[in-house]
Amino acid sequence: MKLQTQMLVGGVVLTCSLMMTPLVGEGYAGPGGSELHRHAALGQTVKVFGHIMFGRFCTALDVSINVTLVPTHGTISTRKEEVTLRDAGFGNKCVGNSFTGTVVYYKRTSPGVDHFEYTDWSSVGAMNHAVTVD
């Protein structure tokens, strides 16, 4: 029997040869990653994305964030919070479950359109994300 897992990212499933299933909790992320757009007023902190990854039997895995392009008009922070899987994707059995995930936040510190990039990763893989904040 060939064991495969799937990477569900905003409704797109990628087949992997690992024994785990990584999941991104919110937004769209295609095979190359995600492009996200958020709005933040001066001094405002906004939630960018909640990341969750789990093992074969809905066992939560730790997710780390690596900033690859820093913003020029704000700061990025992360928090460990509950993230609920809302998209069933291709019959995913963990839908509706909440996991402790890593949530990325952005705080605007000066006016202007901002852009930053980061990678979320765990023991089962990584995904790149590009974020524009107006």
Q: Which of 4, 33, 48, 28 is nearest to 89 (CA)?
A: 28
Burial of residue 35 (CB within 10 Å: 0-12, 13-18, 19+) is middle
CATH number of 13's domain: 2.60.40
Model pLDDT, residue 92: 67
Q: How many domains does the chain have?
A: 1
How much is the pLDDT for 94? Answer: 81
46 to each of 21, 56, 91, 104, how far by Cα in Å? 28, 31, 31, 9
pTM score, whole prediction: 0.74
**CA pair distance 129, 105, nearest whole angstrom:** 13
pLDDT tens, N- to C-terminus, the chain (134 residues): 333 333 434 333 333 323 333 444 444 344 557 899 999 999 999 999 998 887 778 888 899 999 999 999 999 999 999 998 877 654 567 888 888 899 999 999 999 999 999 999 988 888 899 999 99
Domain residues for the domain of 114 are 5-133
Q: What is the token pair recorded at 69?
A: 């392009």
